[in-house]
A and B are shown apart, each in its own frame.
Chain A
Amino acid sequence: MDFFSVLYFRFKKVWKAIRLYLVIAGPGLVVMIADNDAGGITTYAATGAKYGYHLIWFLLLLIPVAYYVQEMTVRLGAVTKRGHAEAIFESFGAFWGWFSLIDLMFVDWLTLVTEFVGMTAALSIFGIPAWVTVVLVVLLMSIIVLNGRYWTWEKIALGFCLLNLIYIPAAFMVNPSVSSIIGQGLIPNFPGGFNNELFFLLMANIGTTIAPWMLFFQQSSVVDKGLLEKDIKMGKLDTLIGSIITVAVAIFIVIVTGTLLNGAPIDDAATAARMLMKTNHYIGAFMAIGLFDAGLLGAICISLASSWAFGEIFGWAHSLNTKVKEAPWFYISFFITLATAGVVPLIPGAPLVLITLFVQVVAVTLLPAALVFLILLLNDKKTMGEYANTRLQNTVSVIIVVLIIVLSTLYGVSALFPNLFQ
Chain B
Amino acid sequence: MRTIKQFFSKIREINERYAKPKVEMSRAVSFALAALRIYLFVLVLLMIYKFITVIKIF
Name the A residues within 8 Å of B14 (CB-CB): 89, 94, 97, 313-314
Interface residues on B, range: 20 to 34
Name the A residues within 8 Å of B19 (CB-CB): 93-94
Interface residues of A (CB under 8 A from B): 89-94, 96-97, 99, 313-315, 361, 364-365, 368-369, 372, 375-377, 379-380, 382, 409, 412-413, 416-417
Name the B residues within 8 Å of A380 (CB-CB): 23-24
Q: How far is the CA of A99 from the CA of B50 in the complex (A)?
A: 21
Name the B residues within 8 Å of A92 (CB-CB): 21, 23, 33
Closest to B54 in A: A354
Q: What would 19 more interface pairs be, CB under 8 Å, given A93-B21, A97-B14? A: A89-B18, A91-B21, A92-B21, A92-B23, A94-B14, A96-B21, A96-B33, A99-B40, A313-B14, A314-B14, A315-B10, A365-B43, A376-B32, A377-B23, A379-B28, A382-B24, A409-B39, A413-B46, A417-B50
Chain A nearest CB, measured from B5 CB (Å): 15
**Given A92-B33, A93-B21, A94-B18, A365 and B46 contact (CB-CB distance below 8 Å):** no
B56 lies within 8 A of chain A by Cβ:
no
Contact pattern, B 2-33, Cβ under 8 Å of A = 1, otherwise 0: 00000000100011001111111000110011
User: What are 25 A-B pairs with beta-carbon distances under 8 A?
Assistant: A90-B18, A90-B22, A91-B21, A93-B20, A93-B21, A94-B14, A96-B21, A96-B33, A97-B14, A97-B18, A313-B14, A315-B10, A361-B47, A365-B40, A365-B44, A368-B36, A369-B36, A369-B40, A372-B32, A376-B29, A380-B23, A382-B24, A412-B43, A416-B47, A417-B50
Name the A residues within 8 Å of B46 (CB-CB): 413, 416
